[in-house]
Homo-oligomer: A and B are copies of this chain.
Amino acid sequence: MGTATTDIVREDARGNARPRVVIIGGGFGGIEAAKTLRTVAVDVTVIDRHNHHCFQPLLYQVATAALSPADVAWPIRHMLARQRNTTVLMGEVRSIDTQLRVVQTAELTVPYDYLVLATGATHSYLGHDEWEAVAPGLKGIDDATRTRRRILIAFERAELADDEIERQRLLTFVIVGGGPTGVEMAGAIAEVARQTLPPDFRRIDPRTARILLIEAGPRLLPALSEPLSAYAQRTLTRMGVEVLTSSAVTECHAQGVEVRGNLIAAGTIIWAAGVVASPAASWIGAARDKAGRAVVNPDLSVPGLPDVFIVGDAAAVNWRTHQLVPGLASAAKQMGRYVGEVIATRIRGSSHSRPFRYRHQGDLATIGRRAAVVNLKHLHLTGALGWLFWSVVHIYFLIGARSRFAVAFSWAWQYVTFQRGARLITGTEPSQHR
């Protein structure tokens, strides 16, 4: 497959020179921008490395064997199939030339009139990228199946182990980072160990597994109010999770983690501690903050590049005093919709747009069976009611009736039987981790 400079969008438009909007990234922001341009006289091209859009808020359920990958991911081209002005291309962006106005992938050169960067964020290891191999994060489907494999293999190896020290190490799970993903992972692993697995093992008792949630800051779920943080910590502790706050991890390696100078021997380490924006800003030479996010204008365009926009986790957008818009699905969607509208307005010949204004819809995190925290403007819930609310909201935001039904069924089944439907060890690890 050679590299070609075909103007693929013009080809599709059959000589019709409509403005070309290229969107890089098929996550929440990119998809929403594309959908907003549905009825606008433009040719939209969405480029993503993967063929699927992934519903990240439920990825931890794939990692803990509750859901299958196909329950929380959908082919991007199918999501946009009915939108006739839109082409989806699977490809990895190599570079962007903002002078020639082209995006370069391995296979194609794609010209644009408007460019939307919606490339999201990835794990940040705070300068210790070598930790990634031992402490994987949770951003995509392959991350989730990798984490699932590691968790399930730890129990399998413990069942085989003859040495008591080694067995205890294998049955120790460390989750680094006390945000929503860390809290959700810790709660879910506790349920796997205490409820799902015990009848299936003979030589070990999975209930003896040690699950540690380690947070560098003073409390869990720092985005939420203090009473909700305290509730989350209490609930996790009751579920048998050891919560360590004000505890920075200073080292991760194959044998465990170091916290405040002490080694905690662990067979599985899961990274939920921080994110860094994807390199979108560097592609276009934009200024970045320390988390790698691009500094953008109030209309989310890039200073000096009025036709290039950045949305979602890759953009640093002011919200409240000293606070940026958080890295949430709803924030990315709002930005995507906003940029779609700005482009539509410009195409209609108007150049004036109101600045982007983020509307915080609230924070949610689930902890376990009948336990979640919900922090909306006029609604604060915990316990079973919070959990029910969390479940309904997440089902609602899934794509397509099929997934909604499948996930609701999986949850109902799990609620009744305590069993998880996707307890499969698939794929392989590089041999040093076996």
Contact = CB atoms under 8 A, between A and B. Distances in A.
A412 to B, nearest CB: 10
A426 B141 CA distance: 7
Copies in the complex: 2
B425 A402 contact: no
A422 B11 CA distance: 31
Nearest to A54: B424
A1 B78 contact: no
Contact of A90 (B73, B160, B413): B160
Given A160-B108, A424-B141, A427-B427, A200 B78 contact: yes
A428 to B, nearest CB: 8
Contacts of A405: 409
Interface string A381-409: 00000000000000000000011011001
A107 B403 CA distance: 41
A242 interface: no
Query: Among A74, A166, A202, A403, which residue has the most Cβ atoms of chain B within 10 A?
Result: A202
A293 interface: no
Contacts of A417: 402
B203 A51 contact: no
Given A1-B161, A405-B409, A200 B142 contact: no
Contacts of A50: 425
Contact of A424 (B2, B70, B425): B70
Q: Is the interface of A mostly helix, strand, loop or mixed?
A: mixed
Contacts of A157: 1, 107
Nearest to A146: B427
A152 B51 contact: yes
Contacts of A107: 157, 160-161
A203 B423 CA distance: 39
Contacts of A428: 142
A152 B152 CA distance: 28
Given A87-B203, A199-B82, A422 B51 contact: no
Interface in A1-39: 1-2, 4, 6, 8, 11-12
Contacts of A8: 203
Given A77-B201, A89-B159, A91-B160, A51 B423 contact: yes
Contact of A4 (B81, B82, B162, B402): B162
Contacts of A153: 90
B425 A51 contact: yes
Nearest to A45: B202
A301 interface: no
Contacts of A4: 162
B402 A419 contact: yes
Contacts of A203: 8, 11-12, 87
Interface of A: 1-2, 4, 6, 8, 11-12, 50-52, 68-71, 73-75, 77-78, 81-82, 87-91, 107-108, 141-142, 145, 152-153, 156-157, 159-163, 166, 199-203, 402-403, 405-406, 409, 413, 417, 419, 421-428
Given A68-B69, A88-B202, 19 more contacts: A1-B160, A2-B163, A8-B203, A12-B203, A51-B424, A52-B423, A52-B425, A69-B424, A70-B421, A70-B422, A77-B201, A78-B419, A89-B159, A90-B425, A108-B160, A141-B426, A142-B426, A406-B421, A409-B409
